[in-house]
Structure 1
Amino acid sequence: MNATVNPKLPPTTPLWAQLFALDDHTGLPLQSRLRLKVVQVILDGRLAAGAALPSSRDLAQALGLSRNTVTAVYQQLVDEGYLESRPRSGVFVNAGALPASIVSADKFIDPFKGDGAGAGAPPQWDARVLRSLREQPTLSKPAQWRKFPYPFVYGTHDAQLFPTEDFRECCVRSLARSQLPNWTPDFETDDMPDLVEQIRIRLLPKRGVFARPEEILVTVGAQHALYLVAEALFDRGTRIGFEEPGYPHARNAFSLRTSEMIGIPVDDEGLVVDALPALDYVFVTPSHQSPTTRTLSLERRQWLLRKAALQDFVVIEDDYEAENLYAGEPTPALKSLDKTGRVIYIGSLSKSLAPAMRLGYIVASKELISELRVLRHAMVRHPSAFLQHAYALFLSLGHHDSHARRVNQVLRQRMDAVMQALARHIPEFEATVPNGGASVWVKTPDWLDGAALSLRARAHGVLIEPGDVFFAQPPRPCPYFRLRLSSIDVAQIELGILALRDAVRAMAGER
């Protein structure tokens, strides 16, 4: 715990410089960085109520800033109640700005622990947590993954591709006074009508899907959609057919509600429909199967829907990376072939733009969507109405389509580069060029474990996604891994594959 500053003993200039040292990684303007630091110092309790701040001249000198910058920040914080100005005395911390638990300069009470009197043993959370995912395998990467020169992993937007000006324009328009009534009220269980309409008339028809507004629900990303479906429809005995290998985030979300996860093999045509046993639901990524990138053939799509009707199960379709197509026309979505309402369709709005934006949607029968609306309301009420409004503008102005075209062109270049580099430098690895998407599924020689390779590759500056996390029952060793292309520049790809080759050679030398 940082000690608070005694208001009667103001620090010397070097100590002020230490206390108010500005963070240089926030991306904020200088004045905003100083404001952020002063507020942090106050709310952390490092300056007590009534503590005197240095004069604007002294703080400017200590931090190497202009006096005008400091004066402007002080005045702003006085106006907001963090500071108070006393005539001929200076600027002081306003007592009302501190957390109630900070009662003086020399006494700090942790509101969670109190003063120690009568404290009992903490709860045993291991015994209380009923549904845990901590031990489940999932996709992960080092905390400092951006520092690796060759990140073949999923995790960020592409700064060179992100449509900064276009998206900023839409955000600014949404913030116009005339637009505030459209998104500032509480929507309760509803969605932004403009966004639902754009999904309905611009996105879904491209996948051959035609839906009414009451059949569409906006979610906080596709992952939220998967969780909502599991929460509403599954119990411990629900039988789920799941691609093996398959999408680990969906598997983990489903496993919180059912233990009956049945692996269904995939091959070059996607899910092996003939291998389906008796089921209640089947989850499938037909556009670009995760992780193998295979596309479910039209014949199998038709047979899957026929079996769903004959055996009375429901298909959950995650239209994973459907927009990322390098050439030709996309295969129709399963939902476009659905005549009986047996397909729950899940899509993402933000994956190709910036994953952290978290916007997705579900298309299903109005009866199910009505139930999911109430369930969503209990969880998050609704996704950000501002973001929905801004993205509706982004879609209506054609920015989404032009951005998707640019992304596909760049991903095709990266795909060509990685396939050529693999063939040239590690020919013993097997990989097939997908018809779209942002990843390559790689098979190594049988002796080489993908998870072990991923750890060794880190020492060479390379991040890859080990294949075992995609399997419910991975082979040992598991000779697979995935290369993602959304976070690495094309100029770094061959160098990254060369570094990966060095890691492979080092492991071969240890056999």
Structure 2
Amino acid sequence: AETARPIAPAASASAWERSFAIQPSRLRHISKPADWHRYPFPFLFGQTDPSLFPTREWRESARATSSVGGVSLWASDRIDEDDPKLIEQLRAQVLPQRGIWARPEEVMITLGAQQALSLVIRLFTGPSTVFGIEDPCYPDARHMAALLTPHLRLLRMDRHGAVADETLAGCDVVMLTPARQCPTTVAMPLERQLEVLRVASGRGTVVIEDDYDGGLFDEGRASGCLRSHDPRVIHIGSFSKLIAPGLRIGYVVAPARVIEELRAVRRLELRHPPLNNQRTLANFIALGHYRAHRHRLGSVMVERARLIDRSLANDLPELLCRRTPGSTGAWLELPSHLTAAAVTARARRDGVLIEPGDVFFADPGVQRSHLRLGFTSIPADRIEAGISTLARLLHDAPSRADSRDRPPADHPARIRTAHPGA
């Protein structure tokens, strides 16, 4: 039998590149090894400890979803609608914990916060839109906006978060992380939140709020969100930090007219997230497992936070360390003669996984001495040994540097510790 002959020779990679309208693969992004769980000291932000997953409770919820009666409720195509039970459970048990009260038509389910960000940014951003974003910030959000408009404005930051100044006032859209600024962990105080909302309201600026950790735990200090003060704020949340990143279920809370358009945009991509996953999560919440798991996880995170704070203070007192109470990560500033890229590479060889901070800045050449250290993925009994290992390699670094890289004689010898509000 004859075989089909190709009409033309296969195109080279460079030929394809000439046809691409965009090349997002060239953008800088957060990178984590796929086998991170094999490392003894995974100080990675946003990953979860598998031992904490509520296996029995999730299995019970999934069993109810897979029953004969349950399947009939989710197996059909709902076009652009979500599982009404999940919407109701969000409204009744999840959102009120963040001070948010919403009607069913003001909530939409997404494939994680990532899709929520993409849909919202696309809806409000065009070629002439002036888009304001924190610097440093979550890099993917910055890239999403930059692909749609050349008018990106970097919002000025201080110890209270984004500053409500003329830059913010000059934006059509702003994206903020007020509860726990990404990546510095700064919690925006109420006074600043109200000031930001006042400035945005006066200008007609659209405010997008990424509540990425959902107030996972508060250590005695609850974090507020902008949506609880102003129903015009577009609020984005996720279950990734609480249950598992692989669940890929997030949500948007916004005025009904906004949700109507977001559903239309989402329909062009995938109609709706899988309804079986939505119903399983709805059952998980309705059966009381969400509340119990949140309480249990909060207790675990409080203990890990205590170990992180103590270990950093004891082993790395020379670093400027910031971790706002309730944050599951710490933002570290290295001495000027060290670069985050070199430190993270060496740390990885020693079994310690940490994240370089330069990717969070719009200009990677300006800030190259920051690290982000998370503790949701590392068991409590490994934290002290992991910080001790990191401290050893940092303290050895000057002896390996050449004379040009050595710190000056007047370089601060001891570390400063940044307290919340300092």
Same fold (TM over 0.5): yes
Residue correspondence of structure 1 range 206-245 to structure 2 within 5 A: 206-245=97-136
Q: 1:296 aligned to 2:188?
A: yes
Q: 1:388 aligned to 2:278?
A: yes
Deviation at 1:418, TM superposition (A): 1.6
Partner of 1:316: 208
| 1:207-260 deviation digits (Å, cap 9, x = unpaired) | 221111111110000000000012222112211111111111211222221222
Distance 2:46 2:179 in 1: 21
Partner of 1:375: 265
Q: Which of 266, 269, 294 is 1:404 aligned to?
A: 294
Q: 1:162 aligned to 2:35?
A: no
| Higher deviation after alignment, 494-503 or 164-173 | 494-503
Contact 1:298 1:331 in 2 (8 A): no
Q: How many residues align?
A: 398
Code of the residue aligned with 2:236 in structure 1: it is I
Q: Which of 7, 11, 16 is 1:125 aligned to?
A: 16
Partner of 1:6: none
Q: Which of 219, 227, 230 is 1:335 aligned to?
A: 227
Deviation at 1:423, TM superposition (A): 1.6
Deviation at 1:401, TM superposition (A): 1.3
Deviation at 1:115, TM superposition (A): 5.2
Aligned-residue CA RMSD (Å):
1.8
Q: Give the 3 Å change call, closer, same or farther, for CA 329–141 of structure 1 in structure 2.
A: closer
| Higher deviation after alignment, 434-443 or 355-364 | 434-443
Instruction: Give the % identical residues.
Output: 38
Structure showing greater Rg: 1
Distance 1:312 1:271 in 2: 18
Residue correspondence of structure 1 range 407-426 to structure 2 within 5 A: 407-426=297-316
Deviation at 1:205, TM superposition (A): 1.5
What SS does the corresponding residue of 1:189 show, helix, strand or coil? coil
| Higher deviation after alignment, 145-154 or 351-360 | 145-154
Contact 1:446 1:477 in 2 (8 A): no
Q: 1:326 aligned to 2:218?
A: yes
| 1:268-287 deviation digits (Å, cap 9, x = unpaired) | 21212225240001110111
Contact 1:286 1:320 in 2 (8 A): no
TM-score (norm 1): 0.75
Residue correspondence of structure 1 range 10-409 to structure 2 within 5 A: 116=5, 118-122=7-11, 124-154=15-45, 156-274=47-165, 276-328=168-220, 330-338=222-230, 341=232, 343-409=233-299
Distance 1:338 1:447 in 2: 45
Distance 1:238 1:452 in 2: 38
Contact 1:322 1:437 in 2 (8 A): no
| Higher deviation after alignment, 405-414 or 266-275 | 266-275
Distance 1:324 1:352 in 2: 7
| 1:187-213 deviation digits (Å, cap 9, x = unpaired) | 101110000011111111222211111
What SS does the corresponding residue of 2:24 show, helix, strand or coil? coil
Q: 1:483 aligned to 2:373?
A: yes
Distance 2:24 2:7 in 1: 34
Partner of 1:504: 394
The runs of 5 or more residues in structure 1 that have no matched partner are 1-102, 104-108
| Higher deviation after alignment, 257-266 or 159-168 | 257-266
| 1:348-369 deviation digits (Å, cap 9, x = unpaired) | 1232110010001111111111
Q: Give the 3 Å change call, closer, same or farther, for CA 477–290 of structure 1 in structure 2.
A: closer
What SS does the corresponding residue of 1:326 show, helix, strand or coil? coil
Deviation at 1:118, TM superposition (A): 4.2
Distance 2:95 2:281 in 1: 15
Q: Give the 3 Å change call, closer, same or farther, for CA 394–455 of structure 1 in structure 2.
A: same
Distance 2:316 2:242 in 1: 29
Distance 1:323 1:209 in 2: 13
If asked which structure has higher relative contact order (CA below 8 Å, sep 6+), I would say 2
What SS does the corresponding residue of 2:51 show, helix, strand or coil? coil
What SS does the corresponding residue of 2:116 show, helix, strand or coil? helix
